[in-house]
Structure 1
Amino acid sequence: MSINSSPTLLQRWSRPLAIAALFLAGLSSVHAQTPKRGGTLTVIAQPEPVILTAALSTSSPTGIFSTNVFDGLIEYDNAFHLKPGLAVKWAFSPDGKTLTLNLRQGVKWHDGKPFTSADVKWTLENVWKKYHPRNQALFANAESVDTPDDYTVIVHFSKPSLAVLSSLNSNGAQVLPKHLYEGTDILNNPYNNKPVGTGPFIFRKWVKGDYILLERNPDYWDKGKPYLDKVIYRVIPDGGARTAALEKGEVQYAPLSPVPARDAQRLAKLPTLKVDTKGYEWLSPWLFLDINNERPQLKDARVRQALYLAIDRNAYNRVVWSGFGKPAVSPVVSTLTEFFEPNVPQYPYDVAKANALLDQAGYKAGANGTRFKLTIDYLPYGDEFLRSAEFIKQAFKRIGIDADIRNQDTPTYTRRIYGDRDYDVTIQWYAGFSDPQVGVTREYQSDSIGKNIPFTNGSGYRNAQVDQWIREAQASGDQAERVKLFKQFQRQVQTDLPSLPLLELHFFTVHSADLNDTVSGVDQVYGSFKNVWYTDPSKHP
């Protein structure tokens, strides 16, 4: 089947959103202006990336940065349609087992070497299948890759792999230059932190703890783009300082809810700034409380149910996230209408029931009212995560659980959760993306436990039936069968509760009012700035 002419997996679940996006696009085209060349865009990077290559890390700071240095094989527009990137055509065979990609000719890496099919083949075989947290599963059934010429890639799968086209953009499947990586220690290759890509901007400098500098690629294949001269990523750890930098015009773009939501409401009223929630649709983000299922008290499902019942998710959304979210009932967000299963076990706020479950589990309150103690770790990505920990600490106190909050930097945090597994509970968010196989099942599949692969199964959850359903969904060429399996999966994991879905997050971006075309696709937060331009570039030298 030709994917260029057939509805994609993305399109099938996104019709209402696509219609709205097309309507908005139509309105904006009425007032279309000619983009202007020049200017420097200053972006908030919070927290600072640990690595600058998304082929080896799915962290959001890395994704926000590296997609300006690297192109994707395909792109997504505002209606979830696939657009050419480094690949100009793509098609699956009728049985869904062979994917042919026809690559763009004349593209060069930033060091002047030609981009060819050999780069795609090498990256798939040596990076995506071995190291990438999501692509290990997504390309698990890729048996071989043929490159009959420099511009054709043919991927042969042992089983149908329909979800692949949901993640072939720059963030989902970033291609690395074979000539700089082959024969090296890939995870410690110096080009991971001085990346050489094919994208619209060229990496120039990383002053750790301060800023990262990119400059316009004058030989970019998308002629005339990018419009900006430079992009600077500034590291500003303090939330108040980030708010002030935006307000003063020192920073012109800040994604992924960069300031406290209450500040965003105030900033949105300023004539010099805009707050936008578009460009996150591809992410399908959900926030959850991950639980170490191997801890003695937390092995009991009744205890995990009690923790869930003790958290008032409506109040949590209102108090901590200022309404920039929606209480979750499943790890698959409700906007993924094709896959979402609403008929899962429900755990509405009920302190009395939570206390009764803890009594049944044998954890009676002591003379001081305490049953046991826990430590809460939180993803160090901003104020809302710390405030989340404080909110949940108070929720646990109402059911006799005394909690301490632990703070740490990102490398320490990821090693603690995914390597050492030295934690009790943690507040985390994952992008579910447009298909559960891409972003959701990694949290529940058991084969990644303890391997220090960030943003995979941190709970230690093992369920042979769930693993089997995941494998069957990965291998099925029947979309209806895949939907059925993923709905069974949701019902089971919401019964076992290895982790607790709390909110479907509604991230926002704060940007200067004179910055144009900041959203060109549903994955914009992980897209490039090649279409972005200033109304008056001279004001941003």
Structure 2
Amino acid sequence: MDTFHVNRLCTAAAVLVSVLLIVPRPASSESPNGHRGGVLNVALEADFPTFDPLRMGALADREVAMSFYDTLLNIDEKGNLVPNLAESYTASDDLTSFDLKMRGGIKFHDGTLLDADAVVFNLKRLMDPKNHCRCTADVAVISTVEKIGPLEVRIHTKAPAAHFLAVLTDVAGIMASPTALQKSGADYGMNPVGTGPFVFKEWKKGNYLEAVRNPSYWKKGKPFLDKVFYRPIPDEQVRMSSLRAGNVDVMLVPGPKDVAEAENAKNLQVIDAGSLGTVFVMFNAKNGPTADVRVRRALAYATNRPLLNKVINHDVYKVANTPFGSGLSPHEKVDGYPNYDLKKSQELLEAVGKPVNITLSVQLGPLALQTGQVLQQMWKRAGVNVEIKQFEQVQHIQNAISNQFEASLFRWPGRADPDLNVYQFFKSDSPRNYARFSDPKMDQLLEKARRTTDPAQRDVVYKSISDLLTQQMPYLFLNYYTSYMLATPKVHGIQKVPDGLLRVDSVWKD
């Protein structure tokens, strides 16, 4: 793995984002000097709808995009913020101004220069309300973006934003060729052009996407592979059998049963990248039966989470009670999270005074369906009738966006800053507040966390946020989500980055 150096030291406020918010994990023992050549076949759980940063957001498209895109900043295996396309970054003392300096000489795959103009173009495109970016919740904090030098930009935020630099490690930090964006227009998402280690070549929807080595990649000596094929295989059993047979080299997002089996297999590697996120049931806090907090809490008391985790997850994951995975410093046990208590559940439902019937939406796939069926049985014991409906991943997400659900099972892989795990989902006016949860106290706490620079004080605020979520229960947290990957013995160089994304620039094969 390349080592990056920050040319100018960040202020203490910015350093808290880059260093102190994530619990360190051991670095990979893989050698940075890999073998050149070879083809990597990667199996994913779902197809990828688009690679236009305006529309990206699902795990599958983020995984694939790592091959032909780079982000302005990145996180390393210890969870620290590190330079990427931007070789240095600074923050003002009041956390309302952020300067980035780009590396010189980097070009997009179509020959367009990556400079300050390209960065400003990309960020303004995401910020434009007419474009309805899925990342609006991330970029809404930006007030202006300006060029202050050939390779330097300054980003002003509307309010203090302790979390902001971490935003630039995700979709909002992806840089796409301005030339290609203007040339392709609405079709750009099918023909992405970035600065990444591989160049987009061919995409057969539902079958595979092929990317070929970028010979002019800015990271010296990388990538090692000649080609990468990404293959969407929704059926978990087929993905696993394909890996065992050697038809694919890497399996992303394996189920817990597969992880447990692979840990005892001699011919498979288990890569544990860490935990930033959660698996949860999201309740519609505005419409339907779950608009009543008593119903939400009753369902929480009716859920035996340790038993669910054992039956479904084989105890591969840990039972959750906060929105912060174990890789984030606010991760701690909250007081009074509803543990299994059938009597309390029934008392709350009796107080509601009418029968409760709920539709539980889950994604296609055996794991999601089995989880839904166990919840259905548990909730039925409390007196709640549950109908399960399954949807393909894209439709499942769209139903949440359009408020077409009552209770919905989701997985959030997590992000590198605690703010990105809560603000966008629980702020009253956030476009990603799919639960339609609104609480003035929550809004105040979320804003306070963004203004707080001291890490210890910030953790106290996030503890209060977790406590309020426990009381109001817009989400029922089931387990913390650990980012696992499975691979054959021939694969080397997989980085254990806590966001769980496969950095193919460092991967090589025997």
What TM-score results when the alignment is normalised by the length of structure 1?
0.86
Corresponding position of 1:507: 483
Write out per-residue CA displacement over residues 383-441 of structure 1, whole angstroms, 9 at most, x where no aligned residue: 3211111111111111121211111222322222211x122111012233232221222
Corresponding position of 2:289: 297
CA 1:70–1:81 in structure 2 vs 1: closer, same or farther (change >3 Å)?
Answer: same
Distance in 2 of aligned mates of 1:158 and 1:477: 16
Corresponding position of 2:221: 224
5+ residue gaps, structure 1, are 364-370, 450-455, 536-541
1:361 has 2:336 as partner: no
Q: Which deviates more from structure 2 when the two are superposed, residues 461-470 or residues 103-112? A: 461-470
Q: Secondary structure at the match of 1:262?
A: helix
Q: How does 1:384-463 map to 2 (within 5 A)?
A: 384-419=367-402, 421-448=403-430, 456-463=432-439
Q: Which deviates more from structure 2 when the two are superposed, residues 428-437 or residues 44-53? A: 428-437
What's the offset of the Cα at 1:448? 3.6
Q: How does 1:36-185 map to 2 (within 5 A)?
A: 36-128=35-127, 130=129, 131-134=132-135, 136-171=136-171, 173-182=173-182
Corresponding position of 2:339: 348
What's the offset of the Cα at 1:527? 4.5
What's the offset of the Cα at 1:475? 4.0
Residue type of the alignment partner of 2:118: D
Q: Secondary structure at the match of 1:471?
A: helix
Contact kept, 8 Å, 1:341 with 1:490, in 2: the verdict is no
1:313 has 2:275 as partner: no
1:376 has 2:360 as partner: yes
What's the offset of the Cα at 1:534? 0.9
Corresponding position of 2:279: 287
Contact kept, 8 Å, 1:110 with 1:202, in 2: the verdict is yes
Q: Which deviates more from structure 2 when the two are superposed, residues 486-495 or residues 121-130? A: 121-130
Contact kept, 8 Å, 2:138 with 2:424, in 1: the verdict is no
Write out per-residue CA displacement over residues 506-540 of structure 1, whole angstroms, 9 at most, x where no aligned residue: 232111111111115333x32420111112xxxxx
CA 1:118–1:344 in structure 2 vs 1: closer, same or farther (change >3 Å)?
Answer: farther
What's the offset of the Cα at 1:495? 0.8
Contact kept, 8 Å, 1:41 with 1:228, in 2: the verdict is yes
CA 1:262–1:12 in structure 2 vs 1: closer, same or farther (change >3 Å)?
Answer: same
Write out per-residue CA displacement over residues 449-500 of structure 1, whole angstroms, 9 at most, x where no aligned residue: 5xxxxxx222111112212332333344555554343332222222111221
Residue type of the alignment partner of 1:526: L
1:211 has 2:193 as partner: no
| 243, 251, 258: which one aligns with 1:254 | 251
What's the offset of the Cα at 1:3? 2.2
Corresponding position of 1:264: 259
1:530 has 2:505 as partner: yes
What's the offset of the Cα at 1:353? 1.5
Residue type of the alignment partner of 2:232: V
Q: Secondary structure at the match of 2:394?
A: helix
Q: Secondary structure at the match of 2:318?
A: strand
Q: Which deviates more from structure 2 when the two are superposed, residues 430-439 or residues 83-92? A: 430-439
What's the offset of the Cα at 1:503? 1.0
Residue type of the alignment partner of 1:267: A
CA 1:256–1:128 in structure 2 vs 1: closer, same or farther (change >3 Å)?
Answer: farther
What's the offset of the Cα at 1:349? 0.5
Distance in 2 of aligned mates of 1:414 and 1:445: 19
1:241 has 2:225 as partner: no
What's the offset of the Cα at 1:137? 3.8
Corresponding position of 1:366: none
CA 1:286–1:128 in structure 2 vs 1: closer, same or farther (change >3 Å)?
Answer: farther
Distance in 1 of aligned mates of 2:127 and 2:63: 19
Residue type of the alignment partner of 2:476: L
Contact kept, 8 Å, 1:285 with 1:431, in 2: the verdict is yes
1:194 has 2:191 as partner: yes
Corresponding position of 2:472: 496
What's the offset of the Cα at 1:343? 3.5
5+ residue gaps, structure 2, are 1-7
Distance in 2 of aligned mates of 1:430 and 1:113: 35
Write out per-residue CA displacement over residues 272-300 of structure 1, whole angstroms, 9 at most, x where no aligned residue: 3211212x44xx11111111123342222
Corresponding position of 1:453: none
Write out per-residue CA displacement over residues 18-44 of structure 1, whole angstroms, 9 at most, x where no aligned residue: 4xx15xx4xx36xx4841111110001
1:521 has 2:497 as partner: yes
Contact kept, 8 Å, 2:262 with 2:269, in 1: the verdict is yes
Distance in 2 of aligned mates of 1:98 and 1:142: 9
What's the offset of the Cα at 1:150? 2.5
What's the offset of the Cα at 1:141? 3.5
What's the offset of the Cα at 1:212? 0.7
Distance in 1 of aligned mates of 2:106 and 2:502: 19
Contact kept, 8 Å, 1:2 with 1:92, in 2: the verdict is no
1:9 has 2:17 as partner: yes
Contact kept, 8 Å, 1:288 with 1:429, in 2: the verdict is yes
CA 1:123–1:154 in structure 2 vs 1: closer, same or farther (change >3 Å)?
Answer: same
Contact kept, 8 Å, 1:86 with 1:104, in 2: the verdict is yes
Distance in 1 of aligned mates of 2:170 and 2:351: 50
What's the offset of the Cα at 1:172? 5.2
What's the offset of the Cα at 1:176? 2.3
Distance in 1 of aligned mates of 2:259 and 2:454: 44
CA 1:35–1:393 in structure 2 vs 1: closer, same or farther (change >3 Å)?
Answer: same
Corresponding position of 1:368: none
CA 1:210–1:497 in structure 2 vs 1: closer, same or farther (change >3 Å)?
Answer: same
Residue type of the alignment partner of 1:533: W
Q: Secondary structure at the match of 2:382?
A: coil
Distance in 1 of aligned mates of 2:287 and 2:177: 43
Distance in 2 of aligned mates of 1:265 and 1:477: 40
Distance in 1 of aligned mates of 2:290 and 2:498: 38
CA 1:169–1:334 in structure 2 vs 1: closer, same or farther (change >3 Å)?
Answer: closer
Contact kept, 8 Å, 1:247 with 1:267, in 2: the verdict is no
Count the aligned residue pairs: 500
Matched-pair identity in %: 25
CA 1:95–1:292 in structure 2 vs 1: closer, same or farther (change >3 Å)?
Answer: closer
Distance in 2 of aligned mates of 1:504 and 1:439: 12
What's the offset of the Cα at 1:156? 2.2
